[in-house]
């Protein structure tokens, strides 16, 4: 886990990604607007949430060690406390069936790697606007 980095806003983004270069790309683009916490797997991320650390949105890969993104989505959506946290799945899995499974399982959006960081930011901002966390881009 990397330590959350300070940014210009109090909005907190949790990134779950086990690929170090991808962590760097995400951190580079997200740190300009958000306080970012990065985890290598969904198991660590869920433990962090259960310790009382609440985040505004989660960006997660599907294939992480110890717990998959699918299992994390199931746990989040079954929880009375964490069920409203928006989740963007960011994965190399391109199949329509996988996308549908994620969206039906509670993901708010799905983006395939490789991705355009501007598109990720646009999708993230759209979800945060829709949930009332921000009013403008």
Of the pLDDT bands very low, low, confident and very high (cuts 50, 70, 90), residue 5 is: very low
Residue 88 burial (10 A CB sphere; 0-12, 13-18, 19+): buried
Whole-model pTM? 0.90
Question: Is the pLDDT reported for residue 1 higher than 70?
Answer: no
Give the list of residues 6+ apart from residue 118 with CB closer than 8 angstroms, or none.
none
Sorted by where each begins, the domain ranges of the chain are 2-130
Bigger pLDDT: 46 vs 136: 46
Q: Are 68 and 37 in contact (CB under 8 A)?
A: no
Of the pLDDT bands very low, low, confident and very high (cuts 50, 70, 90), residue 134 is: confident
Residues 92-119 pLDDT 10s: 999 999 999 999 999 999 999 999 999 9
In the three-class reduction of DSSP (H, G, I as helix; E, B as strand; rest coil), residue 108 is classed as coil
Q: Are 90 and 115 in contact (CB under 8 A)?
A: yes
Least confident of 16-30, 49-63, 105-119, 123-137: 123-137
Q: 2-130 maps to which CATH number?
A: 3.40.50.2300
């Amino acid at each position: 886990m990397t330590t959350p980095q300070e940014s210009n806003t109090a909005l907190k983004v949790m990134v779950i990604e086990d690929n170090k270069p991808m962590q760097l790309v995400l951190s580079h683009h997200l740190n300009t607007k958000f306080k970012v916490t990065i985890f290598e797997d969904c198991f660590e991320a869920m433990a962090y949430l259960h310790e009382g650390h609440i985040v505004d949105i989660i960006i997660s890969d599907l294939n992480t060690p110890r717990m998959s993104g699918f299992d994390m989505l199931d746990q989040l959506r079954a929880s009375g406390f964490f069920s409203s946290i928006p989740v963007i799945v960011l994965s190399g899995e391109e199949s329509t069936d996988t996308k549908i499974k994620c969206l039906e399982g509670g993901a708010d959006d799905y983006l395939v790697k490789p991705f355009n960081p501007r598109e990720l930011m646009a999708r993230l901002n759209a979800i945060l606007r829709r949930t009332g966390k921000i009013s403008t881009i």
